[in-house]
Chains A and B, each alone.
Chain A
Amino acid sequence: MTNNASVEEVKQETPVTEQPYKSRKDMTKGEYIRIQMKRTWVGYVMVAPFLLMFLAFTVAPVVLSILLSFTSFDMLQMPQFIFMDNYIRMFLDDDLFITALQNTLMFAITTGPASYILSFVLAWFINELSPKVRAVVTFIFYAPSISGSAYLVWKLLFQGDIYGYVNGWLFKMGIITDPIIFFQNTTYIVPICIVVALWTSLGTGFLANIAGLQGVRRDLYEAGAIDGIKNRWQELWYITLPEMKQILLFGAVLAITGAFGFGGIVNDLCGNPSTDYVAWTLTHHLSEYMGTRFEYGYASAIAVVLFFLMIGANSLVQKLLSKVGS
């Protein structure tokens, strides 16, 4: 725990706290914190309701999942401690888990960076437009991600019969004689899902980029031009990216969370499970063990793996991004 209240603040407030005047130097750390806590008790009251919810629905579940992942638990009997057995089984005995892990990594590595770069590059392009045009173009790119169900339109485009848009054209041009059932064909499932995921990925991070670029001070660019910056690229590298660093970090967090949580789109487009498990991700594997097999201990172990993948990817990317412009 840290406390940021400055020394001056304490001096100002000391008369109120009924304590004899004591400067920060004369106090032990514990004493100082106690005085601070007394002074700021309203703060604790204000965060309490939220914190209670947050502990119950986010923190406790993560901690409990980690504990449960070392047990065998079916909700009928008490959890039995089995130590690492779930993890050993996962990596040695469960081929489908390996498939899920590979697919999750594959989707994360393709859609994550692609959507992240796309959301920055597009925002960077849009930033050059006049305000009115900018608002319209922003909306066009953001619209697909606003609605949770908009991506179902891809079902119409790639419909598995002759009335689907793609099949209709392929048929007309004589490339196929029978319609391709895209969402059950192992060749097409993964690419289509990636395209759809990218299509819906320009969300909050994209808006943050647009706003962040607007917030970079104009005089920095003007000063840069005087100092000999020759083109857009140099401007981007020496001024824009360093100024945008914090927003880039925020966007990265959202992109990673989205990329590793991939799964819902597959269910709605290709059914569950997808043909030959080609798009079977950790999300699917987890819900299978939780919802169908009731092996909560094992499902928790999968959740823990996913959790550490997300946290690990984040710290890696944050480290990479901290090098930008330096």
Chain B
Amino acid sequence: MKKLRTRKHAVVLNRSVGGDAVITVMLTILGIAMFLPVWYLIVTAFKPLGERSITPPNFYVIKPTLQNFIDLFTNMNSTWVPMSRYIFNTIIISVAATFGCLVLGSLTAYSLSKIKFPGHNFIFAVIRYSLMISSTVTGITNFFIYVALGWLNTYTISIVPVWASTLGLYLMKQFIDSNVSDEMIEAARIDGASEIKIYWSIVMPLVKPAWLTLIVTTFQSVWNAGASGYVWSEQLKTFNTAIATVSGVSSGAGSAAILLMMSVPIIVFLINQSKIVETMGSSGMKD
């Protein structure tokens, strides 16, 4: 707001000093409250055994150590399936799920937004409604469908159902709606460009923030969820299940494990933060 105030031609907005102060104080308090648990996690992950048994625990660490991480990795080596296999599975599942989502989602978003075939409004309305129900509701019958398809305990079950997720598609469709003009597409059509050509060479380069967002959100959810619940072979499970089983040894190793699991989606988000926020700008629900 300061910027606005000092702009030479701008009207001075109604901002009271008291209001600014209240907002700053509230943000500081809430920000600290939100961040303290994360901070405690980081601190605990680097605490040596001696400091972890102090009561009450400190919110700082006197002699930081990597011992917890070393313990974690030692335990990892003792798992029945080698840790490299879990990491490999995580990569395979995340990449395949994200790639499929991106291809199917962007094609669908373009078609719904710009080709406007008879029925596109109805299809989009159903997709919008699907945002309103959680996976709990569809869980039971999904199970029967997986059984019928013979997908239980395979890679497929961790990958293909993700392709049907709608949040990324929804965001991309809204982003295309508000960032690519119909006139431009119409002009390209008159010049004789095919729909696929328009999709690939005109629309996709214009909506880079949207596909980055789709990649990041899909990747995050797959990373956090790991393999499907209907996978029981240890060889098909992912890093997060493995890390959960070996982290039970101590609060230190447990914190180290959570920290490791957290750091990947956080880094991915930080790199893409500005693009993601840009995409969310057009997420509004139009009636």
Q: Residues on A close to B: CB < 8 A? A: 1-5, 9, 12, 33, 36-37, 40-44, 46-47, 49-51, 53-54, 56-62, 64-65, 68, 75, 122, 125-126, 128, 130, 135, 137-144, 146-150, 152-154, 156-157, 159, 162-165, 167-169, 171-172, 199, 202, 204, 207-208, 210-212, 214-215, 218, 221-222, 225-226, 229-232, 234-235, 245-247, 249-250, 253-254, 256-258, 260-261, 263, 282-283, 286-287, 290, 296, 299-300, 303, 306-307, 310-311, 314
Residue from A125, A167, A310 in contact with B137 in the complex, judged by beta carbons closer than 8 Å: A310
Chain A residue nearest in CB terms to B148: A56
Expressed in whole angstroms, the Cα–Cα distance for A18 and B228 within the complex equals 50
With A50-B164, A53-B164, A212-B281 known as contacts, the answer to whether A290 contacts B140 (CB < 8 A) is yes
Which of chain B's residues have a CB closer than 8 A to the CB of A57?
A: 138, 142, 145, 161, 164
With A60-B145, A146-B265 known as contacts, the answer to whether A43 contacts B167 (CB < 8 A) is no
Q: List 17 A-B contacts (CB under 8 A).
A: A36-B118, A40-B116, A46-B107, A47-B107, A56-B164, A57-B142, A137-B27, A140-B31, A147-B258, A154-B37, A163-B52, A168-B56, A171-B55, A204-B217, A231-B14, A235-B14, A246-B286
**A156 lies within 8 A of B134 (CB):** no
With A128-B23, A163-B57 known as contacts, the answer to whether A147 contacts B140 (CB < 8 A) is no
**A150 lies within 8 A of B132 (CB):** no
**B115 lies within 8 A of A43 (CB):** yes
Q: Which of B20-43 touch A at CB < 8 Å?
A: 20, 23, 26-27, 30-31, 34-35, 37-38, 40-41
**B40 lies within 8 A of A157 (CB):** yes
CB distance from B49 to the nearest CB of A (A): 11
Which of chain B's residues have a CB closer than 8 A to the CB of A140?
A: 31, 34-35
Q: Residues on B close to A: CB < 8 A? A: 1-4, 10-16, 19-20, 23, 26-27, 30-31, 34-35, 37-38, 40-41, 44, 52-53, 55-57, 104-105, 107-108, 110-112, 115-123, 126-145, 160-161, 163-164, 166-167, 169, 186, 190, 194-196, 199, 217, 220, 223-225, 240, 244, 251, 254-255, 258, 261-262, 265-266, 269-270, 273-274, 276-286
Give the 8 A-B CB pairs with smallest separation, nearest first.
Answer: A246-B284, A168-B56, A148-B224, A261-B134, A43-B115, A40-B117, A61-B138, A43-B117
**B121 lies within 8 A of A53 (CB):** no
Chain B residue nearest in CB terms to A259: B134
- Looking at B4, B108, B223, B265, which has the most chain A CB atoms within 10 Å of its CB? B108
**A153 lies within 8 A of B116 (CB):** no
**B27 lies within 8 A of A125 (CB):** yes
Residue from B118, B195, B258 in contact with A152 in the complex, judged by beta carbons closer than 8 Å: B258
Expressed in whole angstroms, the Cα–Cα distance for A270 and B48 within the complex equals 27
Chain A residue nearest in CB terms to B280: A211
CB distance from A320 to the nearest CB of B (A): 14
**B261 lies within 8 A of A149 (CB):** yes
Expressed in whole angstroms, the Cα–Cα distance for A144 and B34 within the complex equals 8
**A147 lies within 8 A of B262 (CB):** yes
**B280 lies within 8 A of A212 (CB):** yes
Given contacts A3-B116, A53-B104, 14 further A-B contacts (CB under 8 A): A36-B118, A46-B110, A50-B108, A54-B127, A143-B262, A154-B37, A157-B37, A165-B57, A207-B276, A208-B280, A210-B280, A296-B144, A300-B140, A307-B133
Chain A residue nearest in CB terms to B41: A153
**A150 lies within 8 A of B41 (CB):** yes
**A225 lies within 8 A of B163 (CB):** no
**A141 lies within 8 A of B163 (CB):** no
Which of chain A's residues have a CB closer than 8 A to the CB of B261?
A: 147-149
Q: Is the interface of A mostly helix, strand, loop or mixed?
A: helix
**A307 lies within 8 A of B37 (CB):** no
Expressed in whole angstroms, the Cα–Cα distance for A296 and B139 within the complex equals 11
Which of chain A's residues have a CB closer than 8 A to the CB of B44?
A: 153, 156
Which of chain B's residues have a CB closer than 8 A to the CB of A163?
A: 52-53, 55, 57, 251
- Looking at B111, B121, B160, B266, which has the most chain A CB atoms within 10 Å of its CB? B111
Expressed in whole angstroms, the Cα–Cα distance for A309 and B225 within the complex equals 25
Chain A residue nearest in CB terms to B121: A2
Which of chain B's residues have a CB closer than 8 A to the CB of A126?
A: 27
Which of chain A's residues have a CB closer than 8 A to the CB of B224?
A: 147-149
CB distance from A202 to the nearest CB of B (A): 8
**A165 lies within 8 A of B277 (CB):** no
Residue from A250, A287, A299 in contact with B283 in the complex, judged by beta carbons closer than 8 Å: A250
With A256-B132, A286-B139 known as contacts, the answer to whether A146 contacts B266 (CB < 8 A) is yes
Expressed in whole angstroms, the Cα–Cα distance for A33 and B40 within the complex equals 62
**A156 lies within 8 A of B137 (CB):** no
CB distance from B136 to the nearest CB of A (A): 5
Expressed in whole angstroms, the Cα–Cα distance for A260 and B133 within the complex equals 9
Expressed in whole angstroms, the Cα–Cα distance for A207 and B220 within the complex equals 15
**B19 lies within 8 A of A231 (CB):** yes
Chain B residue nearest in CB terms to A232: B19
Which of chain B's residues have a CB closer than 8 A to the CB of A168?
A: 55-57
Chain B residue nearest in CB terms to A148: B224
With A59-B126, A171-B56, A172-B55 known as contacts, the answer to whether A311 contacts B133 (CB < 8 A) is yes
Expressed in whole angstroms, the Cα–Cα distance for A146 and B219 within the complex equals 11
